[in-house]
Amino acid sequence: MPYVNAGKPKHKHTYGPVPSRRLGFSLGIDIVPHKICSFDCIYCQLGRTTGKTVARKDYTPVHEILDDVRLALQSKEQINYLTFAGSGEPTLHKSVGHLIAEAKKMTDIPVAVLTNGSMLIFPDVRNDLVNADVVIPTLCTTDQSIFERIHRPHACIEIEEVIRGYIEFRRIFKGRIWLEVMLMKDVNDKPEQIKELRTVIEKIAPDKIHLNTVVRPPSEEYAKPVDVEMLRRISEMLGEKAEVIADFSRQKTQPSQDEHAGSILSMIRRRPITINDLVSTLGLHENEIIKIIEHLIAQKEIAVSRHDGKDYYEVRRRSND
């Protein structure tokens, strides 16, 4: 039976299709809860990692995910890719290989996996992803100390091993690898760092290299974008497979996080409200709303109270002191 729960978004584990420069209309499939990840990247747009782990589990029931995918496919909206991504690192889901196989039984739409790549150090994870059509892993640096500074990884992950995992995955994977390089000002944008990166990327042999930078509010304010000119220079240094995919227009045309926070506050001022109310009214992804809510709580603007097993957000009553 489809997972439909009164008061909750109908598709709890899918979102979109959202327009994406690389994937056209992409149906997001969110298979781990917010925010289970093996990294805690300083540029993460989902806020800080609350469950840093390399433990693989069925974090979300497989049947719920597949029911949601089936429902979304019935919607007749244009979908160019089914994309495993979402609220954390999808390869931490123990059944990701099974989920890819089942999704491919339902449709001919190609499957993409957005991953931080760290779990490719494990042979079972590499095998799980072989049936995807496109895998988009991240590689920002070849240097362990910069790797730790950018990704704040789980203690058992070292960049040398991750690179070895990528090379091994390339050997067994017949689909396309689009390697994403996230560049940050004064962190990993120096010419000598890019030279090192190029040497390693040649060994990994991805089909494309996608250059990105921080265009959405990052987890840490000190994660700063490189400018478009610098991205173009780095693209030339990395050779013909490289292209800039950073969407600077998002910075200008999308409502800012402050504007979203303003809309959320004005709704909460009218009445106590749940996350799901905000999701259905504002049309934002649950993760984006959770991140703004956490910020408003930290700013002591709002408070949470529990009624009938649900969390309601309300304006914080201020004392007179």
Footprint of ligand SF4 (CB under 6 A): 37, 39-41, 44, 46, 49, 88-89, 116
Whose Cβ is closer to ligand SF4: residue 38's or residue 268's?
38
Whose Cβ is closer to ligand SF4: residue 40's or residue 67's?
40
* Contact of 293 with 264, CB cutoff 8 Å: yes
Tokens of 59: 């974090």
**In the complex, least distance from residue 48 CB atom to ligand SF4, rounded to whole angstroms:** 8
**In the complex, least distance from residue 40 CB atom to ligand SF4, rounded to whole angstroms:** 5
Whose Cβ is closer to ligand SF4: residue 13's or residue 67's?
13
**In the complex, least distance from residue 113 CB atom to ligand SF4, rounded to whole angstroms:** 12
**In the complex, least distance from residue 88 CB atom to ligand SF4, rounded to whole angstroms:** 5
Render the burial of 288-319: b for 16+ CB within 10 Å, e for the rest: bbbbbbebbeeeebbeeeeeeeeebbeeeeee
**In the complex, least distance from residue 310 CB atom to ligand SF4, rounded to whole angstroms:** 26
Whose Cβ is closer to ligand SF4: residue 67's or residue 89's?
89
Q: How far apart are CA 161 and CA 123, in angstroms?
A: 12
Whose Cβ is closer to ligand SF4: residue 268's or residue 289's?
289
Burial (Cβ within 10 Å: 0-12, 13-18, ≥19) of residue 259: exposed
Residue 186's H or E segment, with its range, is none
For Cα atoms 255, 50, 292, give the angle at the middle one, nearest 5 degrees.
Answer: 20
* Contact of 237 with 194, CB cutoff 8 Å: yes
> Phi then psi for 186, rounded to 5 degrees?
60, 15
